[in-house]
Copies of this chain bind each other. A is one copy, B any other.
């Protein structure tokens, strides 16, 4: 029973510490020692578990992607109409567990660094194309064929842009308000 426990607990602790530390110091500047201190541990331990700094970063991004996927699946399962499913995808992006300055900020860091790390860029591509196919599937039933692509990029880029801004914010975010705003954008974009 306990065989896997410690390993998993440490994993999670280090990933959480990474999120905090990267948010505070920046992806390019944060050191192993800082992350370790944040986790109440030592840099050597991180290497013991993750092999390298890059391995840790990849694990952290996987963690965030998992959060997003979970939020998305949950919302999706409760929605019955195409419109509700569309809103569910957006709501997932602005869910309480994801839409915080800390998370948006680290997400942005990963995003900016993805082009220089094959591991990150792969994760990034996979995530993006999943969101795209969700959007496209619902929009096909909501807008005339020639506008599907325009509506999709409008909405998907909107989400990206809002996160980009959120990362710059110096005040705490309001996820509920962000969802409300997103709904209004959907209203604006979809034919009524």
Does B157 contact A165, Cβ atoms closer than 8 Å?
A: yes
Within 8 A of B (CB), among A163-192: 164-165, 167-168, 181, 184-185, 188-189
Please tell me the number of chain A residues within 8 Å of chain B, measured between CB atoms.
37
Specify which chain B residues have a CB less than 8 angstroms from the CB of A162 in the assembled complex. Answer: 153, 157
Nearest CB in chain B to that of A156: its residue: B161
User: A151 — which chain B residues lie within 8 A by C-beta?
Assistant: 188
Structural contact, A147 and B115, CB atoms closer than 8 A: no
A55 near B: Cβ within 8 Å?
A: no
Tell me the nearest residue of chain B to A110, going by C-beta: B112
Q: Which residues of B are found within 8 Å of A105, using beta-carbon distances? A: 115
The docked-state distance in angstroms from the alpha carbon of A109 to that of B164 is 12
B165 pairs with A112, CB closer than 8 A: no
A25 close to chain B: CB less than 8 A: yes
Query: A26-B115, A157-B158, A161-B161 known; 16 other A-B pairs, CB under 8 Å?
Result: A26-B28, A26-B112, A26-B113, A27-B28, A111-B112, A112-B167, A115-B167, A150-B181, A150-B185, A153-B185, A154-B185, A157-B160, A158-B158, A158-B161, A159-B161, A161-B164
Give me the interface of A with B, judged by CB distance under 8 Å: 25-29, 105, 108-109, 111-116, 121, 124, 147, 150-151, 153-154, 156-162, 164-165, 167-168, 181, 184-185, 188-189
